[in-house]
Amino acid sequence: MSSTGEAPIHGDILEAIFSHVPLIHLVPVSHVSNSWKRAVSSSLAHVRPIKPWLIVLTQSLRHSHVTTLHAYDPRSHVWLQIKNTARSHASPVRSSHSTLFYALTPSEFSFSLDALHLKWHYAPSPRVWRTNPVVARVGSRVVVAGGACEFEDDPLAVEMYDVNSQAWEACPSMPALLKSSTASSWLSVAVAGEIMHVTEKHSGVTYSFETISKTWKGPFSLRPHESVFHCVTGTLGERLMVAGLIGKVGNVKGVKLWEVRVRGGLGSGMEEVGEMPKEMVRKLFSGSELGSVEVTWIGDFVYVRNTSEPEELVLCEVLNHLNGVGCEWRSVRNAAVRCGARMVFCGGSVCMEDLQRAVMSENPTFSMKHV
């Protein structure tokens, strides 16, 4: 090399540099050269891995067809606006499970399963007309349970839609003990493997629906402690978890996370994983009302929000250490808030292949949003 030539940047230095570059900017970077591509892959594998995104869909209260998608990337600590080219919606978009958006009309059931929620599936509506059911993805099926209209014979009706065969199948109804709280606003849903767990948020009473055998089991109690007045279940990886609000309505004193022990039977015990710092509790839950707390679970992340404080989010990353499980908490300013619009939250397990398809397409998919 001549004395005037530029010195090469070695791989380990590139890896360190790339660990500070926002994830979407690493897509074009990986196309610079083969050595840079290898450095990007190594940086993501060993220095700062990809972390699941929080996806937020905002929908106009007056014009339901007007929607906007935002994403929060916890690896890069940035908000992104996602160009949404999906067909407009004639009804409210909802999310009762942390990895799925859906919309329901008398004639159509539409839902989105991909990581960035850019693709929507369209199916005939379920046989039973519902307004606010529990909806969850379980393997290749989407389960729709409860939430039936008053004029329907069975408010506890359950149906499953098979994405592969594109057909609906009737299933055994939800247990009678859940009859007074069949709407998703009163129930929490978690999926572990081929099993859907449905929990009544106030009492912690839980039933499990095995989608292979189409049977219900329970009841089990997933209320961690008598001081917990509001329970929300979810999964982190393969672990069944509970987020519990401690205190009473209008006076939330704490938020804790528990892992549910499944050996020996569901509800046989729980282990406390972490507690939200008191200053975050005060910031998030001043004036909180029952039913206003929403929790999104994705990967090893838990996002907690209070609908009466739309600009505030608290996230927790659950980490596995040699001496046990630990939690890292932080506050995030919600950049997706728009006046006159409702927000729906879910998660996306984004990978580089998803971003390659989106970023390298003819039409730009992302724009950075600074907070």
31 and 77 fall within a common domain: no
On whether residue 175 sits in a domain, the answer given is yes
What distance in Å separates the CA atoms of residue 195 and residue 184, rounded to the nearest whole number? 18
pLDDT tens digits, 104-141: 998 999 999 999 998 899 999 999 999 889 999 999 99
Residue 264 pLDDT > 80: no
Looking at residue 163, what is its pLDDT?
95
Task: Label residue 230 by pLDDT band (50, 70, 90).
Answer: very high
196 Cβ contact partners less than 8 Å away, ≥ 6 residues apart: 136, 138, 143, 145, 189, 190, 208, 209, 211
Q: Are residues 213 and 283 in the same domain?
A: yes
Above 50 in pLDDT, residue 2? no
Domain-embedded: residue 143: yes
The Cβ of residue 291 has, within 10 Å, a number of other Cβ atoms equal to 13
Domain identity same for 80 and 25: no
- pLDDT higher than 60, residue 282: yes
**What is the structure's pLDDT at 371?**
52
CA–CA distance, 288 with 290 (Å, rounded to integer): 7
Q: Is residue 2 part of a domain?
A: no
Omega before 219 cis (within 30°)?
Answer: yes
| 247-265: b (≥16 Cβ within 10 Å) or e | beeeebebbbbbbbeeeee
Note whether residue 1 is domain-resident: no
- 54 shares a domain with 43: no
Please indicate, yes or no, whether residues 65 and 211 belong to a single structural domain of this protein. Answer: yes
State how many domains the chain has: 2
Domain contains 26: yes
Domain assignment of residue 146, yes or no: yes
Whether residue 148 lies inside any domain: the answer is yes
216 and 303 part of one domain: yes
Same domain? For 263 and 180 the reply is: yes
pLDDT in tens, 283-315: 898 755 544 789 999 999 999 999 888 899 999
Residue with the larger pLDDT of the pair 195 and 90: 195
Diameter of the chain measured on Cα atoms: 85
Q: Which one-letter amino acid corresponds to residue 347?
A: G
126 and 209 both lie in a single domain: yes
What are the C-alpha distances in Å from 284 to residues 162, 276, 303, 352? 39, 11, 12, 33
Considering only 7-11, 74-78, 172-176, 212-216, which range has the smallest mean pLDDT?
7-11
CATH code of 210's domain:
2.120.10.80
Give yes or no: residues 223 and 282 share one domain: yes
Domain of 170?
A: 50-369
Give the per-residue pLDDT at 285.
84
Asked whether the CA dihedral 71, 76, 78, 82 is positive or negative, the reply is negative
- Asked if residue 84 is part of any domain, the answer here is yes
Q: Looking at the predicted structure, is the pLDDT value of residue 272 above 80?
A: yes
Note whether 174 and 318 are same-domain residues.
yes
- Given a contact cutoff of 8 angstroms between Cβ atoms, the answer to whether 301 and 316 are in contact is yes
Whether residues 127 and 198 fall in one domain: yes
For residues 135 and 269, the model is more confident at 135
Can you give the pTM of this predicted structure?
0.90
103 and 35 within one domain? no
- Whether 9 has a pLDDT exceeding 70, the answer reads no
